[in-house]
Structure formats: structure tokens, C-alpha cells
Amino acid sequence: MQKDLAGKTALVTGGGRGIGRAMAERLAAAGALVAVNYAGNHQAAADTVAAIEAAGGQAFTVQARIGEPGENEKLIAALDKEFTARTGSKEIDILINNIGGGDYATILDSTEALYDQTFNNNVRGPFLLTRALYHHLRDHGRVVNISSTGSRLTDPGIIVYSMAKAAVEAFTRVLAQDLGHRGITVNAVSPGFTAGETNLHVTEDPELAKGVIDFTALKRFGQPKEIADIVYALASPLGRWITAQTIDASGGFKL
């Protein structure tokens, strides 16, 4: 595999499982030194690092609950120490804002707690982390935010989640304008239904799975590695002239 990210450093938030793990492995396979962030599941993050190292790559774990008081400072201190020890610099070339998720509900069923948690996970956390890392980002670097096809859907049952992911995409466009003079590209990737742990309730239910497949142009679920390939393309030299875009990575879900 081409090592066109050799000498680059990367941070993948929520990098221990699912799409996050696939992205961490893909960036490492291209030569990047990858910081695999996790909130609570150390074993999953450690397994990701072990898989990367077994394949000849470089990675390390870093624990932090992104967006919670004091956590970003802790994360940055750990990154500064590890990146400096390994590369001689604190700078980050590639930032992947992958944390997100949230429960679904209609407007009438949504609680303030659900609203706050969903926006904290998907908007506040990535925003505050990116702000904290603003001067750590190397010129001509890359920021990739993970959105969702939920941002463009009109299902009343995911109203808060849809709002949060739409905010991620607005953040992407504005940040691209902010960082453009430094040659830093900022894009979002918007997966649809992807096979893996977070969607087991769908993939293992024949009726739900059929509904997703019927509404997907390519007639199957996506795979985490397929999302990771798109993120890699944006993070690599191939993506140097793409910025402020949201790339639909859903296989054509609900076109």
C-alpha cells in the first residue's frame, strides 16, 4: 500500500471501534502515526493499536471524553507528549472528528437531556476540540468531520440527531473558510447505514435490514473500510483541492 502519509500525524476521535477503527487502520496503513482516542473502552482502542502495529504501522491510545470539562486539556497534553517524543513536534496533520451518536425521538418525545447529550456528542465536543487544537494543526493539514445522511433526512423520529448533524456540516463549511488561508482543507463525510456494532439492531433484524437495502441504490449495507477509504482520500494528497464539502458515503440511501 502506498505510504503517502509517511511522516504525518493523525488523531481519530472514537477510534477504537467501527468506522473509527477502520479510519485509524487506513491512515496508519498509509504511513501516518495515529493517536487512537477513546472515552471508556480501553480494550477496544488497545486492540486497534495492536492491529495497526501488527500490520507494520504506528499508533498509540489516548483517553479523553471529548467536550467534557478538563478533558480536552488532558487530551492535548497527552498528544503533545507523545507526538513530541516520536516526531519532535506537537503539530497534527490530520484531525478526524468521529465522535457522535445519540438516541432518536420525535420532537414531542425529546427531552432536554436527550437534546443536550446529542448536541454535546456531535457538535459541542468536536467544536471545542477543534478550537483547542486550532494552533496545533499544521499548515496544509486536513480536518475531516464525520456527519450522517441523517442531516438531510426528514424523518420526524430523528429530529434532534438530524439537527446536530446539519450543524456539523455547517461547521465544516465555515471552518474551511477560516482555515483556507493556511492550506488546511476541511470536509465532512456522511455515512449511511454501515455494517458494524452500532447498527446490529438493524442488520440482524431481517425486516429492518430489508427496508434499508430497499432504500439504498447499491442494495447493501456499507462497510467501515469503505468509509475509511473516503476519509483517507480526503486526508491524503489526493484531497488537496477539495474543501468545504460533505461527501455522501451512503451507497445512495434514500436518494
Decide if 232 is catalytic.
Answer: no
DSSP string, 146-180: E--GGGT---TTBHHHHHHHHHHHHHHHHHHHHHG
Going by their DSSP bridges, the two strands 246-249 and 185-191 should be labelled as parallel
β-strand pairing of 92-97 with 58-63:
unpaired
Residue of 104, 115, 134, 161 marked catalytic: 161
| 43 touches 70 (CB < 8 A) | no
d(CA 255, CA 251): 9
Distance CA 74, CA 64 (A): 7
Grid coordinates given for 194: 454501515
Q: How far apart are the first and last CA of the chain?
A: 33
Which of 117, 93, 97 is CA-nearest to residue 105?
A: 117
Contacts of 44 (CB under 8 A, 6+ apart): 16, 17, 21, 38
Residue that the C-alpha cell 495497526 belongs to: 52
Query: Which residues lie across from 173 on neighbouring strands?
Result: none
Residues 194/227, Cβ–Cβ less than 8 Å = yes
Residue 59: half-sphere exposure toward Cβ, Cα within 13 Å: 32
Which residues are marked as active site?
Answer: 161
